[in-house]
Amino acid sequence: MKAKTITNPEIQVSTTMTTTTTTATLPNFKSSINLHHVKLGYHYLISNALFLVFIPLLGLASAHLSSFSAHDLSLLFDLLRRNLLPVVVCSFLFVLLATLHFLTRPRNVYLVDFACYKPHPNLITSHEMFMDRTSRAGSFSKENIEFQRKILERAGMGRETYVPKSVTKVPPEPSIAAARAEAEEVMYGAIDEVLEKTGVKPKQIGILVVNCSLFNPTPSLSSMIVNHYKLRGNILSYNLGGMGCSAGLISIDLAKDLLQVYRNTYVLVVSTENMTLNWYWGNDRSMLITNCLFRMGGAAIILSNRWRDRRRSKYQLLHTVRTHKGADDKSYRCVLQQEDENNKVGVALSKDLMAVAGEALKANITTLGPLVLPMSEQLLFFATLVARKVFKMTNVKPYIPDFKLAAKHFCIHAGGKAVLDELETNLELTPWHLEPSRMTLYRFGNTSSSSLWYELAYAEAKGRIRKGDRTWMIGFGSGFKCNSVVWRALRSVNPAREKNPWMDEIENFPVHVPKIAPIAS
């Protein structure tokens, strides 16, 4: 499957978070409504084709069986008695195959619960405070101070995001000790909450997966957690570094694979990023953008493969798909940590980033599409592909699947406003679908790999998650990588019973985020 890139020149839609304006001629509008109903009917017919065929056949079989006389039944039993050996052999093979299937089938992975860390209010950094500290740092030219101000205004971020004290102090005090303190505050805050929510004891955790891209001390972050919570000595511990903002979904994929091997255990996944030692103090504009976007945050997730945990779990993991474009030089270098001409270390964002992200997304959903799209969409896509490739019917337009049929909720990495705007257009999603991502960027900024969990928490706080709903998480990261994870809700989530970082202010969202044209670099 490929991402949607086709727009309708006859229908122009201008959308914001609060108003929607549609301009179209009346005939075209009626035509689109009729086609819409035809497509809905087609989708319903294909989705229920097995049911529609099976019911008449079952009725015929029932009518036929009801006409059996006692004599017919006695003949049937006599036939089975005369062929006892084949019946026994077939029954044995059936039981054997059923047993092998049960023992070798993939184990279900359940998301028991998760928690997102909400920093203390004294870490709130308004735009005014950000610009004040930037001006007083003495590291930036006047032109680049103004450049950061413009980026901040256009980033789609609100005025209550969080930055660690080590960065906002005058003068700043970046150090290993301060970075460790930031990591401990975020990780322990999220872990304490998820352990409280799930009732899981530290000694019950058999696997620990931690991801933080830019801060990798010795001992590792995973060792810090093992030491703090006194986890058991035979725990399987993994520390993922340098994998960018998509590492959170890589951690989920790793946990899924481990849960296929180790029985009846819990996995603790911790996703975070560290800002203290990774604030850029130079004047390369490609590196200054990260200062304006990245903010403090983290998440902790408890996964299980124990069947008895299904009743109390929120979600079941359905699919994980990972796409790595690192073999391509342009993709590899589009997000690169390096030194500038004055030996100041920062993360440079290439102008090719949007194009690279688009190509990675297309490759990813090409693999994921057949797994999540209904058969009706796959048949239409296949039919147009055969028409164009086999029969050379160039007048047939390629069919772009409706990805809204694959999932009800979308959690797209809140990497920046431009990325979200582009994906809304390419996947033909609505502002409602992008609301969790946009509001997470507005309220918490880009918290790297943990941003997807703030978005899912937003959907829960809004009362949107219903039993059976599918949620598609899409993460992008350096390398360049695009990863997807699909969950199915095992129960409806009641916001009144939830504890997450949105609950005390969810009535204030969504807010209007104006669309402002980007500035030249």
From residue 150, alpha-carbon distances to 141, 157, 520 in Å are 14, 12, 10
Beta pairing partners, 237: 208
Beta pairing partners, 434: none
From residue 393, alpha-carbon distances to 66, 375, 383 in Å are 53, 23, 11
Distance of alpha carbon 323 from alpha carbon 366, whole angstroms: 10
User: One of 245, 292, 334, 482 is an active-site residue; which one?
Assistant: 245
Q: Which residues of 119-146 are buried (b: 16+ CB within 10 A; e: fewer)?
A: beeebebebeebeebbeebebbeeebbe
Cα maximum dimension of the chain: 101
**Torsion on CA atoms 491, 463, 44, 483, rounded to nearest 10:** -80
127 flagged as catalytic: no
Cis peptide, bond prior to residue 219, ω within 30 of zero? yes
User: One of 239, 413, 426, 482 is an active-site residue; which one?
Assistant: 413
Distance of alpha carbon 354 from alpha carbon 375, whole angstroms: 31
Question: Cα–Cα–Cα angle for 129, 290, 177, nearest 5°?
Answer: 75
User: One of 305, 426, 446, 483 is an active-site residue; which one?
Assistant: 446
364 flagged as catalytic: no
319 flagged as catalytic: no
The length of the chain, given as a count of residues:
521
From residue 67, alpha-carbon distances to 42, 56, 60, 64, 499 in Å are 37, 17, 11, 5, 61
Coil/strand/helix, residue 398:
coil
- Nearest to 175, CA basis, from 91, 275, 257: 275
User: One of 409, 426, 482, 500 is an active-site residue; which one?
Assistant: 409
Task: Tell me the Ramachandran region of residue 380: left when phi exceeds 0, alpha when psi lies from -120 to 50, beta otherwise.
Answer: alpha
Beta carbons of 109 and 303 less than 8 angstroms apart: yes
101 flagged as catalytic: no
446 flagged as catalytic: yes
Beta carbons of 329 and 505 less than 8 angstroms apart: no
How many C-beta neighbours within 10 Å does residue 48 have?
A: 12
Distance of alpha carbon 322 from alpha carbon 251, whole angstroms: 11
Q: Where are the beta strands (DSSP E) in 136-282?
A: 161-162, 205-211, 236-240, 266-272
What is the set of active-site residues? 245, 324, 409, 413, 446
